[in-house]
Amino acid sequence: MSLNTTAVRIKVTLKDVKPAVMRCLVVPITLRLDRLHLTLQAAFGWTDSHLFEFLAGEGWHWGIPDPDNDFGHQPIDARKARLSDIVHETGAKTIHYLYDFGDSWDHVIKLEKWFENTSTDGLPLLLDAVGRCPPEDVGGPPGYADYLEAIGDPAHQSMNICVPGAQTGSIPTSSIGLRSRPPSAHYRKSGSRRYTTRSK
In a domain, residue 51? The reply is yes
Using alpha carbons, select from 84, 104, 108, 113 the residue that is nearest to residue 94: 108
Sign, CA torsion 179/54/56/29: positive
Tell me the per-residue pLDDT of 54-105, one tens digit each, with 9 for 90 and over.
Answer: 999 988 999 999 888 767 788 999 999 999 999 999 999 999 999 999 999 9
Q: Confirm whether 156 is domain-assigned.
A: no
Q: Return the number of other C-beta atoms located less than 10 Å from residue 27's C-beta.
A: 24
Confidence of residue 169 (pLDDT cuts 50, 70, 90): very low
Q: CATH number for the domain including 125?
A: 3.10.290.30
Domain count of the fold of the chain: 1
Note whether residue 155 is domain-resident. Answer: no
